[in-house]
Amino acid sequence: MIEVDGLTHKFDKDGEAVLEDISFSLNAGDSLAVIGPSGCGKTTLLAIMAGLIPATAGRVTIQGNRSRSGKTSIILQDYGLFPWKTLAENMALGMKIQNMPAEVRTARTKQLLSELNLTPYAHRYPVQLSGGQKQRVAIARAIATEPDVLLMDEPFSSLDALTREHLQAVVKDMWRKNRLTFAIVTHSVEEAVFLGRFIMVLGSRPARIRAMMDNPLLDMENYRLSDTYFNKIKEVRKVLES
């Protein structure tokens, strides 16, 4: 479970708050999409949840633990791949850092290469990969260590529409299979509705939660083509525009 309680953040001690009194909880196996105006503090919230920066006030706990070491993986917009390492080496890096046994790393890497249709590219370097392939490597590296929580900061924003939709489906499929707990920051209402079991709408700075919207039917078959999906998009847009 993720619990965020009274989270407030200022970059300067005497400056304006970026986030103000953010509180919510997310049960294990649920997904959260965070959406709001540009510059409202969505990425800052994600960075605090990941333990990358300390909050000015409030707290974040994951599985009751305030330390996120070894429990949280994050995927950034720029993939974060090392250019001198092959696809497979990049994929296994997190497991190596955590000192997982070599045989476990090898088996897990082979499994993820197969699941993400990357086996033919295992020995290629990032410069030889497409944007979609690089992002699949980043996803695989993040989940290879079996984290409690996966955090994603607009991971598909630089991809073309079809590749973006394909990788959204990949993430949702992994969520279905493993009941992975994840939170994604996005500017796309469509992406938020497709991936978020709950959709958090933030306001402008200082950002507060304007709405926490339930999205219980996102796991239905052909959801992206359903009236339920389009109606939920309208509902989220209405909150954003109000």
Q: Give the residues across from 35 on adjacent strands.
A: 201
State the pLDDT at residue 144. Answer: 84
pLDDT, tens digit, for every residue of 164-175? Answer: 888 898 889 888
> Three-state SS for 195?
helix
Mean pLDDT along residues 140-146: 83
Choice between 194 and 143, residue whose per-residue pLDDT is larger: 194
**CA within 13 Å, CB half, 226:** 13
Question: What does the CA dihedral 31, 37, 40, 41 come to, rounded to 10 degrees?
Answer: 30
| Strand 19-26 with 2-9, pairing | antiparallel
Q: How confident is the model at residue 183 (pLDDT cuts 50, 70, 90)?
A: very high
Return mean pLDDT, the chain.
Answer: 89
Residue 25 is classified by DSSP as: E
Choice between 203 and 62, residue whose per-residue pLDDT is larger: 203
pLDDT, tens digit, for every residue of 216-237? Answer: 999 888 999 999 999 999 999 9
For 119-158, give one letter per residue: b (16+ CB within 10 A) or e: eebeeebbeebeebbbbbbbbbbbbbbebbbbbbbbbbee
Instruction: Give phi and psi for 149, each to the nearest 5.
Output: -140, 140
State the pLDDT at residue 140. Answer: 85
Q: How does DSSP assign 155-170, residue by residue?
A: TTTTS-HHHHHHHHHH
Strands (E), the chain: 2-9, 19-26, 31-35, 57-62, 72-75, 149-153, 181-185, 198-202, 209-214
Residue with tokens 């525009």: 241
User: What single-letter amino acid sits at 36?
Assistant: G
> Over 60: is that where the pLDDT of 187 sits?
yes
State the pLDDT at residue 128. Answer: 93
CA nearest to 75, candidates 47, 40, 55? 47
Least confident window among 23-32, 50-59, 76-85, 124-133: 76-85
pLDDT, tens digit, for every residue of 61-82? Answer: 887 776 555 578 888 777 788 9
Q: In the chain, what percentage of residues exceed pLDDT 70?
A: 98
pLDDT, tens digit, for every residue of 95-139? Answer: 888 888 999 999 989 988 888 888 999 999 999 998 888 888 888
CA distance 22 to 55: 11
State the pLDDT at residue 67. Answer: 57
Q: Give the residues across from 152 on adjacent strands.
A: 75, 184
Sequence-distant (≥ 6) Cβ neighbours of residue 15 within 8 angstroms = none
State the pLDDT at residue 51. Answer: 86
